[in-house]
A and B are shown apart, each in its own frame.
Chain A
């Protein structure tokens, strides 16, 4: 049953009571969340949200857009977790949900005739200043890559997913993903060096 129980979360309004779980989450937490345990789901999302938000920001979305998409990701996770057959595969499944939501967002932006690069540009002079000082160079180098390269590099280098996990969710073999990651790293290096 996919229903989320309506019992109150129980944590105080001022702090987030669920204990910080390790990532990827424990199998028992995933199973409980899939059975509708609201507290377990809250723990999952609490741990997942900063990761998915940084992933979306790393893919070039502005903060507001990243928050919107991360909310969609959270909702998709709550709605779809009962379909997850193997709790061990939660992390790979979770990132595929995030990638799908990101792809949907880009598609909607294209429909709205808005350029992906424009969306990635800082919105205000303050943002420009922050990005220039705060990892501005790697941001620019990442912006020069394709979305697929960016996703591969982020999930592999930042989130630390195994090639096999990436392969199952990218619909390729582990060897293909390994090669694709290698080429993406090379392209990032080239783009990074070109900024000198």
Chain B
């Protein structure tokens, strides 16, 4: 059995190790240590973590960018659905007032000649203040779908937009008198157009479409009454006939059957028989 402790080659090997170790100068060692520490300090964040950070920041930045871009979107734009979705999500934490945004959209659409969507946006804008009027306006927007633009149509949409702006301003300042007057004016304009159109509303399909359009508004605003809720004009409008000053409880069903007697809040006969 070899006793390796006394092996000549192993003894020389150990001596070689000691010699080589002493060959290293302190200056060389210090230089290498500094280099190693400095090189690593520059990129001290592990690569995976750095990549995750970059991805997360990219995603958050792009999400914010899309959200901001969507905020400016008007109906018909690619990002409009994103805009409305964000509004709905934000409403989960408390209903927000999107009137001003709807009015801006309406102005944009109006300028672009898209009267249908402009009118729809006006309807959405007045929904928090007068749901029945909103339903009328949105119904009207469905009715004018496909019809060629005309000066009369442009004038009507513009008058509704101006009225909605007045409503918004009155609501913002808390001037109830001005609010009622503005809403009454819009009711009158809406009714005038309804009368001019010769009962196109009685076809029923626009109202059905409006029902789905207004569903989200109804969910967010309990004061909104769903269209068609009261189909029989002879039976179900008693509160209107009693001079109810709050026009927000009127419905298209009532409008269909009794004209403007109940909806303008002026204490009409209320019996459904004009």
State whether A4 touches B44 (Cβ < 8 A). Answer: yes
Asked, given contacts A71-B35, A158-B13, whether A192 binds B28 with beta carbons under 8 Å apart, the answer is no
Known contacts A46-B30, A54-B23, A138-B9; A2/B44 CB under 8 A: yes
B9 touches A188 (CB 8 A): yes
- Once bound together, how far apart are the Cα atoms of A195 and B8, in whole Å? 13
Interfacial chain B residues near A74, Cβ < 8 Å: 32-33, 35-36
Which residues 43-69 in B have Cβ within 8 Å of A in the complex?
44-46
Q: Are A70 and B17 in contact (CB under 8 A)?
A: no
Q: Which of A121-155 contact B (CB under 8 A)?
A: 134-135, 137-139, 141-142, 153-154
In the bound complex, CA of A52 to CA of B29 (Å): 11
Contact across chains for B9 and A192 when beta carbons are under 8 A apart: yes
Known: A4-B37, A188-B13. A67 touches B32 (CB 8 A): yes
Tell me whether B20 and A16 are in contact (CB under 8 A): no
A135 touches B19 (CB 8 A): yes
In angstroms, Cα B21 to Cα A138, docked, is 16
Chain B positions 103-154 with a Cβ under 8 Å from a chain A Cβ: none
Nearest CB in chain B to that of A79: its residue:
B40
Instruction: Establish whether residues B17 and A54, one from each chain, have CB atoms under 8 Å apart when the complex forms.
Output: yes
Known A-B contacts A4-B44, A134-B19; the reply to A157 vs B32 at CB < 8 A is: no
Q: Mark B226-241, 1 if CB is under 8 A from A, else 0.
A: 0000000000000000
Flag whether A35 is at the interface (Cβ < 8 A). no
A45 with B41: CB separation less than 8 A: no
Contact B39 A189 (CB under 8 A): no
How far is the CB of B192 from the nearest CB of chain A, in Å? Answer: 73
User: A3-B44, A4-B41 known; A70 and B32 CB under 8 Å?
Assistant: yes
Alpha-carbon separation in the docked complex, A139 to B19 (Å): 12
A150 (CB) vs chain B CBs: closest residue: B13
CB-nearest residue of chain B to A38 = B37
Which of A4, A38, A137 has the most chain B CB atoms closer than 10 A to its own CB?
A4
> Which residues of chain B are near A6, meaning CB under 8 Å?
41
* A71 & B9 in contact (Cβ 8 Å cutoff): no
| A contact residues around B2 at 8 Å (CB) | 185-186, 189
Interface size class of B (residues with CB under 8 A): 20 to 34
Evaluate contact between A53 and B13: CB separation under 8 angstroms. no
Cβ contact within 8 Å between A58 and B16: yes
For chain A residues 70-92, which have a beta carbon within 8 Å of chain B?
A: 70-71, 74-75, 77-79
Nearest-neighbour CB distance to chain B for A83, whole angstroms, equals 10
Docked complex Cα distance between A49 and B40 (Å):
17
| Chain A positions within 8 Å of B273 at CB level | none
Q: Residues of A contacting B12 with CB < 8 Å?
A: 135, 137-138, 192
Q: How far is B33's CA from A85's CA once the two chains are assembled, in angstroms?
A: 23
Q: Decide if A16 touches B26 in the complex (CB within 8 Å).
A: yes
Q: Which residues of A contact B4 (CB under 8 A)?
A: 185
CB <8 Å contact, B39 and A75: yes
* Contact of B26 (CB < 8 Å), options: A15, A77, A141: A15
When distances are taken between beta carbons in the complex, the residues of chain B under 8 Å from A169 are none
Most A C-beta atoms less than 10 A away, residue of B7, B14, B30: B30
In angstroms, Cα B37 to Cα A189, docked, is 41
- The verdict on B10 contacting chain A, using a C-beta distance below 8 Å, is yes
17 A-B contacts, Cβ less than 8 Å apart? A3-B44, A9-B34, A16-B29, A16-B30, A16-B33, A38-B41, A42-B37, A45-B36, A46-B29, A50-B21, A53-B21, A53-B24, A54-B23, A67-B28, A79-B40, A135-B15, A154-B17
A49-B28, A58-B13, A158-B17 known; 17 other A-B pairs, CB under 8 Å?
A4-B44, A6-B41, A9-B34, A41-B37, A49-B29, A53-B24, A54-B17, A70-B32, A71-B36, A74-B32, A74-B35, A75-B36, A75-B39, A78-B37, A79-B40, A139-B16, A185-B9
Query: What 9 A-B pairs have minimum CB-CB distances, sorted nearest first?
Result: A54-B20, A158-B17, A74-B36, A138-B12, A192-B9, A50-B24, A3-B44, A135-B16, A78-B40
Binding site for A on B (CB under 8 A): 2, 4, 7-10, 12-17, 19-24, 26, 28-30, 32-37, 39-41, 44-46
